[in-house]
Structure 1
């Protein structure tokens, strides 16, 4: 009888980057294929390749750049498999869309990081209100009821907080652009 010997897998830093990049990689793929079901399928194929090639990733470099290159090849393979379809795109067009998707993804990642910093700067009461409002299954009315506050007051507070966050994010982005 053969015994199973587990093989050493990628390190925890790789696993963290892998996990952190999933949503962004999905959106990158979706921008190229347009159909969520295709994007999910391609993401799974990409993940298999990324995992198999984990030893080829250079720590300290951009995990997204590395994995998105793999995703681009998986998108091309997917298109080849679906070559029966009448609509085909020129490879230069596919490259241009991939480049735009990567740039847009990077832009949104910068905004997400800035938003995270700005959320940390909110007063605890304001941060709690935002967290409660955007918790799964919550809405302004349910938060107002939980806090025993008029719904209009909750919406006004959320509007003020959103404006504060937007201004903060814009300042953060401007500061990082000037560095």
Structure 2
């Protein structure tokens, strides 16, 4: 493929998938500035590695894998406990972005069922973190708790939700279909 066609194909694919890719990055880092910087970094890496992309395969899957690695490296450099842990990053990397996808619907339904099982203080902490977009220090201030306690609680809640969702999905698969609760 000549240089112009190579560049045109890359530009077309990035334009087609930029919102999904940006949403994936932002869902993990939950900070606009970090997401902007990471998105730019990911695009640069994708361009450098574009010759490894196989035309006809899923560009978004390929790009998401690259984004996952870049985000993981960013999180390691940042070493900030307010970000999602590595296990959650792996789950997010494997999840399709399109909420209309059946697999995602099952996952979200299982996550809702698990969320209903959380005690109210854990639910409140998740609301602070994901809905109000507060960091661990801000949550600690609101709850009058040490920041380390909030970080440990968030990690525990994430780990529990991950395990619960996996169990729910296995149970659903075992029962042979969707649940209606």
TM-score for both structures, normalised by structure 2? 0.49
TM-score for both structures, normalised by structure 1? 0.50
